[in-house]
Amino acid sequence: MHTDVVAGSLGSRPVAREYFGTDGVRGVVGDFVTVDLVERLGKASALWSGGGRVFVGRDTRGSGEELEEAFARGVVSAGGVAVLAGVVPTPAVALLRLDLGVVISASHNPPEYNGVKFFDRTGRKLTDAAEAEIEALLDAPAPGGGEINRVGIAADSYLQHVRERFGSDLTGLRIAVDCANGAYAGLAPGAFEELGAEVQAIGNHPNGSNINVGCGATDLAALQELVVSGGFDLGVAFDGDGDRMLAVDELGQTLDGDQIVAILALHLGVDVVAVTTMTNLGFHKLMEERGIRVVTTDVGDRHVLEALYREHGILGGEQSGHVICLSDHVTGDGLASALLLCAAVRGGTLSEAAAVMERYPQVKLNLPRTGRGALPQTLLDRLEEVNAELNGGGRVLVRPSGTEPVVRVLAEAETEAEAEALCARIAALVRQELG
C-alpha cells in the first residue's frame, strides 16, 4: 500500500510525563483535575512561555468558570497576562492564541471531566518535551505581578475567519446541526444560516451538566432521527469543545472521520493525507487507487498535525472526527470541516459521496486498566505475530488510552463476524497479559 509510517512516537519512547496525556491534562474534576493543579499549570505554563500573554477559552462545563479563574490566578502569579475569552471553541483559541493559547476543556468526555489544552505561539499543540518542561515548573517559585484581561469579541472574530476561508454558498441546503450542548451552541447554526442554509439545531442549550450527554459527536442517534424525520440533506455533529465533527447522510447513515477525510481528499485534490493507526483499511485502499500518499501516525490529532507540517500537506484527520485542513488554519476545526463537507457534496448527496470508500468492519472494545504505563513487550510481540498471520486481510491494534484508564482494542476484517471473533480473541489475550 501507498503508506508511510513516519509520525508521532511510533517505534520510539514518548517523554515521561505525570499529568499530560494524549491531548493536554484531563480527568475527573475534584479527583485528577483539581483547582490547585490547574492553578499550578497556569503558573508553570506562563513561566515556560516567558511570562507573556496567555489567551484562555473554555467549553460549557459547570466546572469551567472556576477552573478558568484558577488558571488565570496561576498566570498572574507568574507575572503573565491572562486574556479570558469565556466560552469559545478550541479552534478559536488556536487561531487567536497569543504567547500561549489555553482551553479549559475535556473535549468529548462526559460533564464530570475537565482539563487543560495548550497551543504554542504559532497555534500548534505542544510537544511531549514541552509538556515535560511545564510539569517541571509546577512547583517553581512565582514572581507575581501579572494581570487579567477579559475579551468579548473572540467568538465573532473566529466565526468571520472560518466563514470567509471555508464557507461557500449553501443556499437551498437543509442541514441539521448538533452542537453537543458545548462551545458551538449558539454559534455554529448561525454560521450555516449566514451562508444561506436552512438549519435546525439540537444540543444547542448548554446548562453546565449536559455537554456531550445524549448528543454531539459521541452520540449520533438524535441527529440521525432528526435528519430522517425532517428530510434534511445531511446532519453534522460537533463534540463539546468543537475540534471534532462527524456527519449523518440523508438516509440517516453515519459517517466517521475516515469517510469525511476521504471525501475531502478527493474534493480538494490533495496528493498526501495524514491519518492515524486507527484509520480504516478501506481508506488506504481508496487512497492507493487514487494515487494519494498516506502518512500514518500514532493516535492523536497532535501527531497528525506534526506529520502534515513535516510533509507539507494540508489535509488529515482521525476516525473519531478530528478533521484538519491547514489551508488558512492551524489545527482541526469542526465547523471548518463541516463547511468543507457541505461544499464537497453540493450537486449530489452525502451518501453518494461516501460510497466511494469501502469501509471494512471494525470491532472495538475498551478494557479497564489501572496505571498509564506502556503495554508489556510480550503482549506487543504476540500482537505482531497475529498481524503477520492476517497478512493484510485484517489487523488488530491495542493501545492504552491517553485520556481514560482503559486499553483500547481494535479488530478489523473483511466481514463483521471475522472482526468480532478477532476482537474477542485479542481481548482475551490482553486480559491474560495484563492480569
pLDDT of residue 13: 45
Q: pTM of the entire structure?
A: 0.90
How far, in Å, CA of 425 to CA of 421, rounded?
A: 6
Residue 114 structural domain: 3-152
CA 323 – CA 246 distance, rounded (Å): 9
- Contact 321/246 with Cβ under 8 angstroms? yes
User: Burial letters for 25-56: b for 16+ Cβ neighbours within 10 Å, e otherwise?
Assistant: bbbebeebbebebbbbbbbbbbbbbebbbbbb
CATH of residue 415? 3.30.310.50
Are 180 and 212 within 8 A, CB to CB? yes
Tell me which residues are annotated as active site.
107
The mean per-residue pLDDT over the stretch 139-147 comes to 95
Q: What is the mean pLDDT of the chain?
A: 94
* In-domain check, residue 157: no
**Is the pLDDT assigned to residue 261 strictly greater than 50?**
yes
Boundary (domain end) residue, out of 128, 152, 176: 152
The mean per-residue pLDDT over the stretch 363-380 comes to 86
263 falls within a domain: no
In a domain, 227, yes or no: no
d(CA 306, CA 292): 19
pLDDT value at 421 more than 80: yes
Other Cβ atoms within 10 Å of 79 Cβ, number? 18
Q: What are 262's three cell numbers?
A: 476521504
Identity of the amino acid at 246: L
- Among 123, 152, 181, residue at a domain's last position: 152
What is the per-residue pLDDT for 14? 56
Least confident of 77-81, 112-116, 257-261, 407-411: 407-411
Among 11-25, 143-157, 225-239, name the one with the lowest average pLDDT.
11-25
Q: Which tops the pLDDT comparison, 175 or 12?
A: 175
CA distances from 41 to 62, 72, 95, 121 (A): 20, 10, 21, 17
| Percent of the chain surpassing pLDDT 70 | 96
Distance (Å, whole) CA 330 – CA 314: 10
* CA distance linking residue 85 with residue 122, whole number of Å: 18
Average pLDDT in the 228-244 region? 98
Distance CA 224, CA 188 (A): 18
Whether residue 10 has pLDDT greater than 60: no
Give the whole-angstrom CA distance, residue 392 versus residue 270.
Answer: 26
- Top-ranked range on mean pLDDT: pick from 152-156, 245-249, 281-285, 415-419: 245-249
Let me know if residue 191 belongs to a domain. Answer: no
132 grid coordinates? 515535560
Q: How far apart are CA 49 and CA 46, in angstroms?
A: 5
308 within a domain of the structure (yes/no) = no
> pLDDT tens-digit profile of 303-357?
999 999 999 999 999 999 999 999 999 999 999 999 999 999 998 999 999 999 9
User: For position 23, what pLDDT does the model report?
Assistant: 85
Show which of 125, 152, 179 is a domain's final residue.
152
Mean pLDDT of 148-173: 95
Q: What is the mean pLDDT of residues 388-410?
A: 87
Question: Is 265 inside a domain boundary?
Answer: no
pLDDT at 156: 94
Q: What's the average model confidence in pLDDT over 406-426? A: 94
CA 38 – CA 81 distance, rounded (Å): 16
Residue 101 lies in a domain: yes
Query: pLDDT for 54-68, tens place per residue?
Result: 999 999 999 999 999
Q: How confident is the model at residue 7 (pLDDT cuts 50, 70, 90)?
A: very low
Count of domains for the chain: 2
* Average pLDDT score over residue span 95-99: 97
Give residue 433's pLDDT. 86
| Region of residue 252 (phi > 0: left; psi between -120 and 50: alpha; otherwise: beta) | left
